[in-house]
Amino acid sequence: MLIHPEFDPVALRVGPLAVHWYGLMYLAGFVAFVLLGRWRLQHEPYRSLGWQPRDVEDMLFWGVLGVILGGRLGYVLFYKPDVYLAEPWRVFAVWEGGMSFHGGLLGVLLAMAWWARRQRRPWLQVMDFVAPCVPVGLALGRIGNFINGELWGRPAPPELPWAMVFPEAGPLPRHPSQLYQFALEGVLLFVLLWLYARRPRRTGQVSAAFLLGYGATRFVAEYFREPDAHLGLLSLGLSMGQWLSLPMVLAGLALGWWAQRRPASQENDHARA
């Protein structure tokens, strides 16, 4: 049985300025997006369409806004609506913590729709570009959760070699679910999605693979993650994270079916748009 090291959440102090590990993980995720995005420019159809590095930087700017605004509003609406209805000003108290991946995803979808419209590019083509570049950032975010000793797992059998005691969660050994999510939603999803996206695909198929892959891996990982204390398990014994992931799986299946059945003539017109 292991003990969580209780890392100092502050990575660096410069006078009154404190740089937190979690913030560094966000920054590393944004850098990874730019590097992977520039690599992805060599994939079809983006190479033939003449996409440029500045497009990656523009998408990052709008994507960051989508992640922050969507992630915060998603947490407010999905996880603590009663609290924020009673005290609306706390929506802006970001220092208290509280971000939702599913809200951030919705924010990114809207931000990319705005950017695609401005650039007169098909929205799904843009999302197909973005999708394989995202899981590395998700993996880094889970490392940040682990360093902070937050979002720990459910109680685990003491004989489990990697069962870990998180002091803030009490004396029981638990699953290090942050590392499970790092491996599933981050590393595994990235490898599979990147390999899949390297070859030319119909518009929407890469986005569908991301929705299906993330939704499925998050659904599985939630069985090992401690539900939010103020919510607990919901209908059918599922957590909020699982209920929010089910629509992603269904949307991925529907989008993949639509993309596969789309006539080739429409596909070519869409790629040139």
Beta bridge partners of 18: 13
| Ramachandran sector of residue 149 (left: φ over 0; alpha: ψ -120 to 50; beta: rest) | left
- SS3 assignment, position 131: helix
**Where is the binding site, in residues?**
142
Of 253, 234, 254, residue with least CA distance to 244: 234
The Cα–Cα gap between 16 and 19 comes to: 10
Residues 182/207, Cβ–Cβ less than 8 Å: no
Of 171, 174, 176, residue with least CA distance to 148: 176
Dump the DSSP string for 42-111.
TSTTHHHHT--HHHHHHHHHHHHHHHHHHHHHHHHHHT-HHHHHHSGGGGG-GGG----HHHHHHHHHHH
